[in-house]
Amino acid sequence: MSDLFTTITTPLGEDLEQPLGLFINNEWVKTDKTFETINPSTEKVICSIYQANESHVDLAVKAANDAFKSSEWSDLTGSERGEILYKMYEIIKRDASKIASIESIDNGKPYHNECLNGDLVESYEVFKYYAGWSDKKTGQLIGSQVLGKNKICYVEPIPLGAIGGIVPWNFPFMMMAWKIAPALATGCTVVMKSSEITPLSALWYGKIALEAGLPKGVLNIVSGFGKDVGSSMVNHPKLSKIAFTGSTATGQKIMESAGSSNLKKVTLECGGKSPFIVFDDCDLDLAVEWAFGGIFYNKGEVCTSTSRFFIQDSIYDKFIEKFKNLTNETAIVSEPFNEKCTIGPLVSKLQYDKVKSYVEIGQNEGAKLISGEFLDGPGYFCKPFIFIDCKDEMRIMKEEIFGPVVAITKFNNVEEVIERANDTTYGLAAALFSNNITKAHKVASKLEAGMVFINSNGDSDIHVPFGGSKMSGIGRELGSYALDLFTENKAVHINMTVPFK
C-alpha cells in the first residue's frame, strides 16, 4: 500500500483502506505537510492527513472548471448524470458500515444508534433522491399569450459552474452528501473542504467518485484548515458559489469575502439556539421522549439542537422529573462501538473545554444543575447536563454551546412564550408540543425559525427544505429547493416578427 493510504483497524476488527491524500482531478495527491486527526475516545492519533494550501485549492478549482467545460461532463443528459448519482448511492449503501466505522472513530458519535443507522442511511438516500431529480429541472416557456403575438421567451435553469463546499465536523459525511448530490444533479462541478477535526470519511468520496465513473475534475476533495484552504476557496474568483455549514461567525466572514471577491453566491447553514416548548395540554410522555433526542443526539453537537426548554408552569415540575429520569436511563455514555451507546465522547479537547466552561458559567449565573458530570479520561466523555430554573438573560440560555447541555425555564401563557422563544439572534429550528392543533399551528406560524416541529423534534427529511432565518443562515438545502441554489435562470427572448423567406 502506498503512502497515500493507510490501514485503519476498527474496534469491530475490520481492516479498512483509508485515503490520506487530497483528491484532485481523479488522482490522489501528496503535499509537503500533514496534520494529525485524533480519536476522541482514546485521545490517540488515528493517522496523519496530507494538508492542502492555496496552491492545491487553485489546482482543484482549475480541475473543476475544466471539467465543467468539458464535453465529458457538460454533454451528459440529466438522465446520464442521474445514473452516475445512482451508482454513488449504491456504493455508499454497500460500504455504509465501513464509512460509519471511520466516522465513529474520527468523530466519536455512536456507531450503531446514530452513524450507521442514521447518518449513512440519509447520506446514500440523498444521492438516490437527487439522482431522480437530475432530469426534472426543465425550465419554463412564457408564450405569446402572455408576451404578445410577436414574442416568446424561454427560461432555462443553467448550472452555476464550479462550486465550493465547506462542511463542519459534526456530520462530516452526511453534510458532504447534502451538497455534492444536488450540485452534481444540476450539472455543477465541485470542490469540497472537510473539517480539519474530522477529515477521514470525506476522503472516501474520492473512492466513490472513481468507482462510480465520475469524469476527471467533477468532484475534488481538499483537506486542511479554514484560515488558508477555506479562505482560499471563499475568495477564489473561479468558484461561482460557496455552500457552507458551520458557525455563524464564520458564515459572516464568508459573506464578506464573497461580496469583496466575485460576488459569488452563498448558502449558509449556521448556528442555532432552538426553543423546545411544552404546553400543559400535550402528551407529556411523548414530549419527554422527543426532548431527549432533541438535545442529546450526537452529544448535543447539532446545529438544530433544542437547547432551550420552555415548559408551562403547571407541568414544570412533573416534566423535569420525567425528563431527568429518562435521561439517566437513556444516556449510555461509552465508547461509540458499544451497541448500547447513546452518548459518545465530545469531538475534541477544544469542544470538551468549551462545554466545561459553559457548565461553570451556568452555575455561576445561578442556574440549578440537577444532572451531569465530566468523566475521567482517556477520552472526552461527559454525562448530559440539565440546568433548571434558568433566566432568559443567562448565557446558557442565549449562546450556542454545541454540547449535551440543556437550559430549562418555565412560562405561563402563549403570548409570553412566543415572545421569549423569539428573543434570540438565531432562527434555525423550534419544537412545540400540544394536543390543541389549532393552537399549535398558530404558535408555529409566529415562531421565527426556518423549521418548526409540532409534536416531534428535529426529524428533518431529505424531501423537505432545511435551513434557518436571522443569524442561522441563508438559503435552503434538501428537497427540490436545493436545486435552485445551484442554478441560475437564463431568459432567452425570441422576436417573432422576423419574416419568412
What SS3 state is found at 406?
strand
The 10 Å Cβ neighbour count of residue 145 is 8
Ranges of beta strands (E only) in 13-148 are 15-19, 22-24, 27-29, 34-39, 44-50, 140-142
User: DSSP states of 220-279 as a string?
Assistant: EEE---IIIIIHHHHT-TT--EEEEES-HHHHHHHHHHHHHTT--EEEEE-----EEEE-
Catalytic residue from among 196, 269, 301, 400? 269
Given the C-alpha cell 448535543, which residue does it identify? Answer: 300
Instruction: Say if residues 153 and 494 touch (Cβ distance below 8 Å).
Output: yes
For the question of residue 269 being annotated catalytic, the response is: yes
Burial class (CB in 10 A: 0-12, 13-18, 19+), 465: middle
Query: Rounded CA gap, 446 and 428, in Å?
Result: 14
The DSSP H or E segment spanning 43 is: none
| Cell numbers standing for residue 200 | 477521514
| Cell numbers standing for residue 409 | 425555564
What SS3 state is found at 399?
coil
Would you say the C-alpha torsion 311, 312, 313, 314 has a positive or negative sign?
negative
- Which residues are part of the catalytic machinery? 269
